[in-house]
Amino acid sequence: MVSSAVPPCPHCGQPLAPFRLPDDGGWDGTFQYACFNDECAYFVHGWAWMEEHYGVRSSYRYRLDPASGQASPIPVWSRTALRDRIIEDDVLAASPDEDVIPGDAPGQGGEGI
Amino acid sequence: MVDFKTVEVETDLLILGGGMAACGAAVEAAYWAKQHGLKVTLVDKAAVDRSGAVAMGLSAINQYVGLRDGQNTIKDYVDYVRNDLMGVTREDLVANIARHVDSTVHLFEKWGLPIWKDEKGAYVHEGRWQLMINGESYKVVVAEAAKNALGKENIYERVFIVGPIMDGERCVGAYGFSVRENTFYVFKAKAVIAAMGGAVHVFKPRSSGEGQGRAWYPPWNAGASAYFTLKAGAEMTCQEVRFIPVRFKDAYGPVGAWFLLFKSRATNALGENYMETRKPELENWLPYGHVKPVPANLRNYLGMLDVMEGKGPILMRTEEAIQKIAAGSGDEKAAKKKLKELESEAWEDFLDMTISQAILWAATNTAPEEKSSEIAAAEPYFIGSHSGASGAWVSGPKDLAPAEYFWGYENMSTVRGLFCAGDASGASSHKFSSGSHAEGRIAAKSAIRYIVDEKPAAPALDAVKVAALKAEVFKPIETFQQFKGATTQSDVNPNYIRPKMFQMRLQKLMDEYAGGVTSQFTTSEALLKKGLELLAFLKEDAAKLAAADLHELMRCWENFHRMYQAEAHVRSIMFREETRWPGYYFRSDKPKMDEKNWHCFVNCRLNPASDEWEMSKKPIVHMFQQG
């Protein structure tokens, strides 16, 4: 699903895809956008950057909140992380305001993971 | 009788506690005190490097608003907190912390805490408010700054604070004892900051017997803040708002990584996802049932409903998640390799944060790639800095607080000279580690201003009063020495009760009558009244607590403190005639939320003169547009 109002990834120019937010993320919508292009330089370089600077096997993807326009890196531990949360075109088109998937985490209250 | 020497310490500002709030207070107080030639003293029952709830480290900072980059607004944070607490929050306090917390996080970074950033310097957000950190030594970094600011000569470690010293209605210090040496301490001060954490083990824990001591929240947080503020005569708030986290059962292993990293499902024994099947239940808790994210207590409640219907146990489907990821990674060889990798990550997740969960897995032959593990709602905790809200009723800041919430100095309790921060101050949830530190800074700056502006007289304390306090503190040791020969088994004695037995009695009555784990978090007025009756007997027997040594003396006083937290809780649940946080506790006789009559704070106070409890409603004044 690519909304015409949603800008492309500023790092690779590819379209962003909507993904369902994890319930404990604290965001107040049900979905946001991220760049899931595995060739995106931001994502590709992120692995080496995180390993070198923080000693972790992690990278990040570009994330955009469509409501506020705010963006930030969201951490991913594998190429497949968050991918199963990508929302297909027809689901989002059919129920844009619905909770497309009920929150799937019990109440941890947001401390750590 | 062992001879205990008395040490008297005079200071201007006394900071009690050594966790995040106390460290924030130390750093800020040192700065302002230097400008006014004042002395600041900090007292911690442990060692500041590894004391408080952050002792073991954290993998994320959970409150960062991002004001400078326009990521969020203060209103955004207030909305988030208010919704999660089902409308009950002091918006002035939450806003005050939210506007200062970012600068605290920037200080952490300056002091050397690694906060994850991308190549351009943008913080890596795990969630809207959460920043990823390399946080194994988070507390050590924060403690170092506090210690450097105060100077080690002004820090007393391994000193347990028993209670407040009052001069009329003014708090002028604290008294306690060393847990390592035979020393009684009297600290005299012009102002005091209480930051001694919340309370755990008030209720019977899931992990009992051989598992005793395991808890989600650190077991050394034993209600010292609640007791101190109650005994000073301070008004308390939200004493009914406990927190119950859902964790891997019995060892409290974190569930977050399983949901976020492994994409695992939690289901009941029938394989049903209660977050989907129980979704209609959210309609009964409007308007909060409709907010995003769904309040933590409502998410808890949906799972509890399955358990109460006999559909338990609730399972984290680890095997399904791991197999699914492995299968999606390519051919058989790649899948096998991925499986191994995921298995390691699963164990590492626990070894990083909750080693006891890894031990439990090993002890029960649990292979996460082969079988599910049970998750469950834990016992209730008193943690006003997290998703609970219990603490003292404190003044808001002059520029934000409505008249009802302002009495001169921000974060000052209703007792003059007594300031509160972190778990000690109530109705300002979701401060977490960074917000608690920020609130400690706020309280400290305010307390120094109080000392400078009001010029409170140096406290007078005569020798007779000191001797009386000393006798009170060491009475359990004297009791043990006096009666230990009456029986051959020192635990069983008609003349005294040891702290472990005392704790079990407290936990049992709270569990059975105040809605603990074994009563499925459900209670009623009749049960609460019975609980109060039993609490009165326990209080009577508290006069016969006995301690064989200093360590046990600390245990005596910890449990004494817990008993007061327990009574404040029972009375507050009984006073609030509704069920508002069904996933934290459920009043079976008042099963619905009553916005008309109970959209308010429940406050309580233990009148120092009459020793009677006073209960009251306080209005919720909204600063921000609802909706």
Give pLDDT tens digits for A23-55: 678 887 889 999 999 999 999 999 999 999 999
Domain encompassing residue A52? 17-94
> Is residue A93 pLDDT above 60, yes or no?
no
Give pLDDT tens digits for B137-169: 999 999 999 999 999 999 999 999 999 999 999
Confidence of residue B328 (pLDDT cuts 50, 70, 90): confident
Give pLDDT tens digits for B371-421: 999 999 999 999 999 999 999 999 999 999 999 999 999 999 999 999 999
pLDDT given at position B429: 97
Backbone angles phi, psi at B118, to 5 degrees: -85, -175
* Structural domain includes residue A3: no
Give pLDDT tens digits for B350-382: 887 788 889 999 999 998 889 999 999 999 999
What's the burial of B536, exposed, middle or buried (CB within 10 Å: 0-12/13-18/19+)?
exposed
Give pLDDT tens digits for A60-83: 999 999 988 889 999 988 888 888
Give pLDDT tens digits for B227-239: 999 999 999 999 9
* Structural domain includes residue A75: yes
Which of A73, A99, A111 is closest, CB to CB, to B62?
A: A111
Cross-sheet strand order for the sheet of B418-420? B155-156, B40-43, B13-16, B191-194, B418-420
Determine which of B23-37, B323-337, B491-505 has the lowest per-residue pLDDT on average: B323-337
* Structural domain includes residue A78: yes
CATH 3.90.700.10-classified regions of chain B: 247-377
Contact between B155 and B143 (Cβ < 8 Å): no
Residue A23 contacts B, CB cutoff 8 Å: yes
The C-alpha atoms of residue B542 and residue B497 are separated, in whole angstroms, by 8
Cβ contact B275–A102 (<8 Å): yes
pLDDT given at position A113: 30
Backbone angles phi, psi at B476, to 5 degrees: -60, -35
Q: Give yes or no for a cis peptide into B619 (omega within 30° of 0).
A: no
Six-digit token string for B84:
């999660």
Confidence of residue B263 (pLDDT cuts 50, 70, 90): confident
Residue A18 contacts B, CB cutoff 8 Å: no
Contact between B569 and B243 (Cβ < 8 Å): no
**pLDDT top residue among A90 and B617:** B617
What's the burial of B491, exposed, middle or buried (CB within 10 Å: 0-12/13-18/19+)?
exposed
Which of B125, B245, B345 is closest, CB to CB, to A73?
A: B125
- From B593's Cα to the closest Cα of chain A, the distance in A is 19
Q: B84 to chain A: which residues are within 8 Å by CB?
A: 109
The C-alpha atoms of residue A65 and residue A57 are separated, in whole angstroms, by 25
Cβ contact B430–A46 (<8 Å): no
pLDDT given at position A89: 63
Q: A77 to chain B: which residues are within 8 Å by CB?
A: 261, 345
Secondary-structure class of domain B473-592 per CATH: mainly alpha
Domain count, chain A: 1
Cβ contact A112–B84 (<8 Å): no
Contact between B197 and B17 (Cβ < 8 Å): yes
pLDDT given at position B44: 98
pLDDT given at position B344: 80
pLDDT given at position B325: 77
Tell me the mean pLDDT in the region B459-481: 94
Q: A103 to chain B: which residues are within 8 Å by CB?
A: 275, 293-294, 299
Can you tell me whether residue B176 is helix, strand or coil?
strand
Residue A1 contacts B, CB cutoff 8 Å: no
B62 labelled catalytic: yes
> Is residue B55 pLDDT above 80, yes or no?
yes
> Is residue A107 pLDDT above 60, yes or no?
no
Q: What percent of chain B has pLDDT over 90?
A: 83
pLDDT given at position B215: 86
> Is residue B435 pLDDT above 90, yes or no?
yes
Can you tell me whether residue A50 is helix, strand or coil?
helix
Q: The domain B247-377 is classified under which CATH number: 3.30.70.20, 3.90.700.10, 3.40.50.2000, 1.10.3720.10?
A: 3.90.700.10
Q: Report the mean per-residue pLDDT for chain B.
A: 94
B128 labelled catalytic: no
Cβ contact B124–A74 (<8 Å): yes
- Show which of residues 184-243 on chain B sit within 8 Å of chain A, judged by CB atoms: 243
> Is residue B201 pLDDT above 90, yes or no?
yes
**Cβ neighbours for A64, distance < 8 A, ≥ 6 positions apart:** A6, A7, A16, A32, A33, A34, A70, A71
Beta strand extents in B189-347 (DSSP E only)? 191-194, 236-237, 246-248, 266-267, 314-316
The C-alpha atoms of residue B252 and residue B313 are separated, in whole angstroms, by 16
Cβ contact B71–A111 (<8 Å): no
Beta strand extents in B3-154 (DSSP E only)? 5-10, 13-16, 40-43, 60-61, 131-132
* Catalytic annotation, pick one of B433, B436, B519, B559: B433
ipTM associated with this complex: 0.83
* Structural domain includes residue A106: no
The C-alpha atoms of residue B552 and residue B500 are separated, in whole angstroms, by 9
